[in-house]
Amino acid sequence: MSPFFPALAARADRPALRFGDRTLTHAELADAAGSLAARIAGARRVAVWATPTLDTAVAVVAALLAGVPVVPVNPRSGERELAHVVADSAPTLVVAGQDAVLPPALAALERLDALGPSAALPAQLPAGHRTGLPPEPSPESPALIVYTSGTTGPPKGAVLPRRALTATLDALEDAWQWTADDVLVHALPLFHVHGLILGILGPLRRGGSVRHLGRFDIEGVARELSSGATMFFGVPTMYHRVAEAVADDPGLAKALAGARLLVSGSAALPVRDHRRIAAATGRRVIERYGMTETLMNTSVRADGEPRAGTVGVPLRGVELRLVDESGDPIEAYDGETAGEIQVRGPNLFTEYLNRPDATEAAFTEGWFRTGDMAIRDPDGYLRIVGRKATDLIKSGGYKIGAGEIENALLDHPGVREAAVTGEPDADLGERIVAWIVPARPDDPPSAEELADHVAAQLAAHKRPRAVRYLDALPRNDMGKIMKRALHD
């Protein structure tokens, strides 16, 4: 079977990873990940403490070499979320950077350091032996388990087999003319598909390289694009911040103008931001559409016409249909008939871990129901027009379930009733709003206290950005909260 990372197997002497001043070539990565893989091999599942560091990249590559499924853990997970992820995925090992301080839920596991101290890179890395490593695992074997929010309940672990990763990355090679000469810059978190699979595993599979900024800032993007980086991947919030700055920043405009490819995804990039960036740089951002469960489904092609407000055409190997409310396929390519996007293909996940009920509900006749609504232009370009579930919020490119936040808020002693909605936000796309009936109207918990509470239980990006206090929540005759009435 062909290797997942051909350039690693070939021990290419070219840069592979750069995080700050820590770098590895493909050959050095083969050594570092190879020796770690020998220690991981045989484990049932490995949790990776997914800080935006070189350690995370090495740990994930090592687990892929060892054929052991990886659970990337958000290092900013709150207590309740972390407890759920650990209990549900039941890893037997955790890999972290040497300096990481792990919370109790993970500290109980056997721990391996991804790499030695940064000063020891790369001279003191043990020589890479693939001795003791199993042969390339079967394409159907699980590679990653990525947790993703639903409308209610805790996040579900999407089990992603190796063939889904290779299918999606190789389809993007075709769509984006992505080669070993490409140098990607990004600043996305490494516990989701966008930052980890596209942003780290993508360049490694192509034999190219990635420079990770650690955290997003416009200067960093401009600096890297001006010094050899060819591509930038970001969420719309990042492009929005670029669009706000670029008209008055000739250095940034020049850097973006020189890029080979600027790609946005995880949420819709507003047409206004597309236009502002194009006006200042002469370059068009292209969008691709994906989902944790499906990896990438469509993209504007590098050799296609960039069209703002569209997510392009189905990727190689992806079958895509739109269905109407009764589940019948829509044949029209008329730019106006909207239907739910359903997909089929080698890019799909296999199941939600421990959730056969949810897995079954997610498919119809072998097609995966995305819950996203779209229309199709006459030439097949897809335009996403909305989402079926109002209780799913996309904020900063993160998918967040309203029910999960409501449950966390209800755990706060100062909260009697809670409802959570998403509201348009120029920067985040949507912002999380908490509607609260306080337990004691004369002494309600402050907005900050509630935000801290949610951040500590779930994750910082799930915290409400606004809190509104009510005497009662609007309910229908059945007692169900009428969320639409809240905004009136």
Answer yes or no: are the C-beta atoms of 289 and 311 closer than 8 Å: yes
- For residues 201 to 240, the per-residue mask of contacts with ligand MCA, x marking binding by CB under 6 A and - elsewhere, is --------------xx------------------x-xx--
| Euclidean distance between CA atoms 99 and 454, whole angstroms | 26
List the beta bridge partners of residue 227.
Answer: none
Answer yes or no: are the C-beta atoms of 49 and 95 closer than 8 Å: yes
Q: Name residues contacting ligand MCA, limited to 410-469 (CB under 6 A).
A: 451-452, 455, 460-461, 463
Is 193 a residue that touches ligand MCA (CB under 6 A)?
A: yes
List the beta bridge partners of residue 437.
Answer: 417
| Euclidean distance between CA atoms 95 and 98, whole angstroms | 9
Is 101 a residue that touches ligand MCA (CB under 6 A)?
A: no
For the chain, state the CA radius of gyration. 22
Task: Return the residue of 211, 376, 399, 412 that touches ligand AMP, per CB under 6 A.
Answer: 399
CB of 130 to ligand MCA, least distance (A): 31
| Euclidean distance between CA atoms 3 and 10, whole angstroms | 10
Tokens representing residue 464 in the block: 């409400």
User: Which one of ligand AMP, ligand MCA, none is in contact with 384 (Cβ closer than 5 to 8 A by kind)?
Assistant: ligand AMP
CB of 253 to ligand MCA, least distance (A): 21
Q: Which single residue is written with the structure tokens 């109980």? A: 108
Is 311 a residue that touches ligand AMP (CB under 6 A)?
A: yes
Quick one: 235 or 322, whose CB is closer to ligand MCA? 235
Nearest to 301 by CA among 167, 176, 194: 176
Is 387 a residue that touches ligand MCA (CB under 6 A)?
A: no
CB of 321 to ligand AMP, least distance (A): 16
User: Which one of ligand MCA, ligand AMP, none is in contact with 372 (Cβ closer than 5 to 8 A by kind)?
Assistant: ligand AMP
User: Which one of ligand AMP, ligand MCA, none is in contact with 370 (Cβ closer than 5 to 8 A by kind)?
Assistant: ligand AMP
| Euclidean distance between CA atoms 11 and 23, whole angstroms | 15
* 3-state class (DSSP) for residue 464: coil
Quick one: 125 or 454, whose CB is closer to ligand MCA? 454
Quick one: 113 or 452, whose CB is closer to ligand MCA? 452
Q: Which single residue is written with the structure tokens 């990776």? A: 48
Spatial neighbors of 125 by CB under 8 A, at least 6 apart, are: 28, 31, 32, 35, 115, 116
Is 268 a residue that touches ligand AMP (CB under 6 A)?
A: yes
* 3-state class (DSSP) for residue 465: coil
Is 384 a residue that touches ligand AMP (CB under 6 A)?
A: yes
C-alpha pair distances (Å), 377 with each of 230, 301, 312, 313:
30, 15, 10, 10
User: Which one of ligand MCA, ligand AMP, none is in contact with 421 (Cβ closer than 5 to 8 A by kind)?
Assistant: none
Strands (E), 274-366: 286-291, 295-299, 313-314, 319-323, 339-344, 351-352, 363-364
User: Which one of ligand MCA, ligand AMP, none is in contact with 45 (Cβ closer than 5 to 8 A by kind)?
Assistant: none
| Euclidean distance between CA atoms 126 and 36, whole angstroms | 9
Please report, as a single letter, which amino acid is at residue 433.
V
Taking CB under 6 A as the binding criterion, the range among 9-17, 285-293, 307-315, 375-383 that sits at the site for ligand MCA is 285-293
CB of 387 to ligand MCA, least distance (A): 13
Task: Return the residue of 35, 74, 89, 148 that touches ligand AMP, per CB under 6 A.
Answer: 148
Is 387 a residue that touches ligand AMP (CB under 6 A)?
A: yes
* 3-state class (DSSP) for residue 404: helix
Quick one: 35 or 74, whose CB is closer to ligand MCA? 74
Nearest to 300 by CA among 318, 308, 164, 397: 308
Question: What number of CA atoms fall less than 13 Å from residue 32's CA on the CB side?
Answer: 30
Is 368 a residue that touches ligand AMP (CB under 6 A)?
A: no
Task: Return the residue of 287, 340, 391, 404 that touches ligand AMP, per CB under 6 A.
Answer: 287
Please report, as a single letter, which amino acid is at residue 99.
D
| Euclidean distance between CA atoms 181 and 179, whole angstroms | 5
User: Which one of ligand MCA, ligand AMP, none is in contact with 451 (Cβ closer than 5 to 8 A by kind)?
Assistant: ligand MCA
CB of 462 to ligand MCA, least distance (A): 10
CB of 76 to ligand AMP, least distance (A): 16
> By the criterion CB under 6 A, which residues form the site for ligand AMP?
148, 193, 265-268, 287-292, 311, 370, 372, 384, 387, 394, 399
Given the rule CB under 6 A, which residues bind ligand MCA? Answer: 76, 188-189, 192-195, 215-216, 235, 237-238, 265-266, 290-292, 396-398, 451-452, 455, 460-461, 463
